[in-house]
Amino acid sequence: MAANRDPDRWIADRMRHIESSGIRKVFELARSLKDPVNLSIGQPDFDVPEPIKAAAHAAIDRGANAYTVTQGIPELRAKIHANVRKLYPNDDREVFITSGTSGGLVLALLCTVNPGDEVVVFDPYFVMYPHLVTLAAGTTIYVDTYPDFGVDVDRLRAALTPRTKAILLNSPANPTGRVYSRETVRDVAKLALERGILLISDEIYRVYCYDGPFTSAAEFNPDVLVLDGFSKAYGMTGWRLGFAHGPRRLIEEMTKLQQFSFVCAPSMVQHAGVAALDYDVSEFVAAYHRKRDRIYEGIKDNYELTKPEGAFYLFPKAPRGTGTEFVAEAIRNQLLCIPGAVFSRQDTHFRLSYAADDYTLDRGIEILNRLARE
């Protein structure tokens, strides 16, 4: 009897709607280049600070290597909760520790989105958003923010329907670097509250605001679910430590689902997180502020782009052709960047990360200007 060895028989239908990350494809291509100028990677170029490493080492050495309680170790939760209560006084706001900010987003969508429910995202968007909505059997509704990537609240209001379950807000934003004004964040938060729609605020880049203070939607709406973490502020991208805070009822459900999925965030990393919260990252923020100015001033005369106010990305318009075509040309010239179509339904722009040393930035500026003039 012949065996049926077709692996496609095993693959769920939902996977047809989830593509491999275009960012990963660029990483794979980078391996074939010698000494590339890498402005593609979305992670800090500094190492985890020594006191945070020491706390992780100490936790391992004293045997803190077992499972923790699902919601996170009490020391870390209490420290985060104290900060949250200071910023957003609300007796109903609860905190729990997630396996990365992305892990928190997975839990949030699976706990709230029913098949056919709509989730609004702003285009351009973080690459994971539509795929995780698909995983939850929801439908992504895109609200265009071109050409300056600002949120138009009237456009958002027009996109809402009786099926809208959630709105995803990311400020400072990946890939555009935009930081939405206090008035915009307030208006989005109040609109969600008025309509009874869950607003999920992705605040992983909150420390990287260069031209003004950060504003959280949780200031204006007690039902906002905030997702945050340690990866960008402390260089802990591979440590997978995040946290969420929001309405107690929702946090209870997310914690229950984590019990049967991620189980808990890595134990020793949670202990390192306690130390991280005492570490002053202002030096890192100041350094990236300078890098933002360096690359923006270096290419602004040759590219159409909006000056980013935060995170560590620029999102210029390709000087010719599509964003994908221009990125292919850039890669042929040793410059790694990401086509905008990875983050958008449009293929007109490309993403640069300035989380790199100044020598790399200067090499990138030279290549970009040369390509623009050709």
Model pLDDT for residues 219-240, shown as the tens digit of each residue? 999 999 999 999 999 999 999 9
Q: How are strands ordered across the β-sheet holding 164-170?
A: 93-98, 242-247, 225-229, 198-202, 164-170, 118-123, 139-144
Confidence bin at 53 (pLDDT 50/70/90): very high
Assign 3-class secondary structure to 260-311: CCCCCCCHHHHHHHHHHCCCCCHHHHHHHHHHHHHHHHHHCCCCCCCCCCEC
Confidence bin at 18 (pLDDT 50/70/90): confident
Nearest one of 259, 258, 242, 243 to 94, comparing CA atoms: 243
> CA 191, CA 198: separation in Å to the nearest integer?
10
> CA 286, CA 208: separation in Å to the nearest integer?
9
**By mean pLDDT, which of 25-39, 142-156, 206-220, 278-292 is the weakest?**
25-39
pLDDT per residue as tens digits for the range 149-205: 999 999 999 999 999 999 999 999 999 999 999 999 999 999 999 999 999 999 999
Domains (ranges, CATH) in the chain?
12-41+281-373 (3.90.1150.10), 52-276 (3.40.640.10)
Match 């593609």 to its residue by tokens: 40
Number of Cβ within 10 Å of residue 199's Cβ equals 26
Given a cut of 60, whether residue 366 has pLDDT beyond it is: yes
Given a cut of 80, whether residue 27 has pLDDT beyond it is: no
Match 């990305």 to its residue by tokens: 313
- Tell me what the pLDDT averaged over the chain comes to: 94
Q: Can you give the pLDDT at residue 374?
A: 85
Identify the residue with better confidence: 39 or 90: 39
* Tokens matching residue 84: 């949250």
Confidence bin at 21 (pLDDT 50/70/90): low
Which run of H or of E encompasses 121? Answer: strand 118-123
pLDDT per residue as tens digits for the range 277-323: 999 999 999 999 999 999 999 999 999 999 999 999 999 999 999 99
Integer CA distances (angstroms), 368 to 33, 244, 325, in order = 17, 39, 14
Confidence bin at 2 (pLDDT 50/70/90): low
Burial class (CB in 10 A: 0-12, 13-18, 19+), 28: exposed
Q: Can you give the pLDDT at residue 60?
A: 97
